[in-house]
Amino acid sequence: MSKILWIKNGRVIDPANDRDDVGDVYAVDGLIVNNLSPEQKSSATVHDATELIVIPGIVDIQVHLREPGQLHKECVKTGSWAAAAGGITSMVCMGNTTPPCDNAGTIQYLINIIKRDSIVNIYPVGTASIGMKGEALTPTGSLKKAGAVAITDDGHCIQDNEIMRRAVEYAKMHDLILMDHCQDYALTKNSVMNESEMSLRLGLKGWPNAAEDIIVARNIILAESTNAHIHLQHISSATAVDFIRRAKSRHIRVTAEAMPHHIALTDVSLKDYNTNFKMNPPLRTERDRLALIAGLLDGTIDCIATDHAPHSPTEKDVEFDKAPFGIIGLETSLAVCLGVLVHDKHCDLPYLIELMTCKPSEILNLDKGTLSEGSEADICVFDPLESWIVHENGFFSRSKNSPWIGEELRGKVKKTFVKGNLVFNGEYILSPQDEHTILARPGES
């Protein structure tokens, strides 16, 4: 017997198909269909989305799930729960695990865990260098055959330009995108926050924009000379945005992403030495923040990703200098971006949805981020106006290192469907096999 889903009366926004209207979304056996027969409607599971927004499931192309090897921070299972609670139905997990994803065996091991434990779609990437040391290249072809959708040393940056050039060439040879974390180590040794008036006031070692700008420029040069596609991760510098804009005007094959925290916050947030505001790259100035927003609006920056980077409370509850970089973001990204871009009237809602669904999918050639007929029924239903307080014990993520704790956000995910199965009902994580079975409640990870 077919499993039939009918989401009715919502405002359906599907940028990939230029759809924005009040109407219905249908799925049969996990796939989107344009219509249901009268007989199918009579047996469908109906969800009323009146006054709610219905969109393709959000696609996040930069997430750290910490498995294998760092399960005290996060795992595939809890990361997938957090994603579902944030309306994210597809995500790309980085390879800086323990051991790193620098060989086909580790990729296959991770894929087996994903098949067993995840309630959302997760795509692994392979590292660009062995051990993420930036000294020797990984077997790119083997990584792709094992299931890697891209290569990156994210969390590290290859400093040797010759090694980087060869990594880019091999990625192109195997039709993979190289994603790069842009950081010049010589300029960031012992740095813990943005180099600015604020770092001087706090007495903390500053991290100059130039550390990002130099590597962005290097990657643009390599993309032009090799005609390969390089994706620039978590851009934070106004000058880097300008470099990327100029590169695109010359049709150089670079794409870029911005993070919710970088478009919402500045280094002023570090005034109380709260380590939940310590991240890599660091929070910059208001000038940089506004440049990132402008880059998103004019297409210089292609998409939004979270850089979800969980750390345990004991790791973050230390002196600022000693705390690890990174924050969680899967469960708050939609609300944060709604606040900054839509509620503050920088762009309309359909454009934001485009930045979080079909745009990231296009970068990595994922068949996601759309409600096209025949595509898998990955769907997010949310209320753009509902306010909620971010509580430390309200996360499905295993870690709690969020800069939004105690803050009121506006925009709440009400339901998340993966392959037509309800996996989040606005309160609980549900079993994909039986939506009446609760897998997790907030704070239980």
Q: Which residues are catalytic?
A: 307
What is d(CA 270, CA 287) in angstroms, rounded to the nearest whole number? 17
Return the structure tokens found at 138: 């990984």
What is the biggest distance separating any 2 CA atoms in the chain, rounded to whole angstroms?
70
β-pairing verdict for 178-180 and 230-232? parallel
Burial of residue 129 (number of CB atoms within 10 Å: 0-12, 13-18, 19+): buried
Residues 6+ apart with CB under 8 A from 197: none
Nearest by Cα to 223 from 287, 258, 178: 178
For 377, the token pair is 């029924």
How many contiguous H segments (helices) and E segments (strands) does the chain have?
14, 20
Kindly write down the DSSP assignment for every residue of 383-424, as one continuous string. Answer: EEEEEEE--GGG-SSS----TTTT-EEEEEEEEEEETTEEEE
> Distance between CA atoms of 375 and 359, rounded to whole angstroms?
16
Given a contact cutoff of 8 angstroms between Cβ atoms, the answer to whether 258 and 232 are in contact is no
- Asked whether 85 and 330 are in contact (CB, 8 A), the reply is yes
76-85 and 104-117 are packed helices; what angle lies between their axes, rounded to 10 degrees? 60
Number of C-beta neighbours around residue 385 at 10 A: 13
Distance CA 445, CA 256 (A): 32
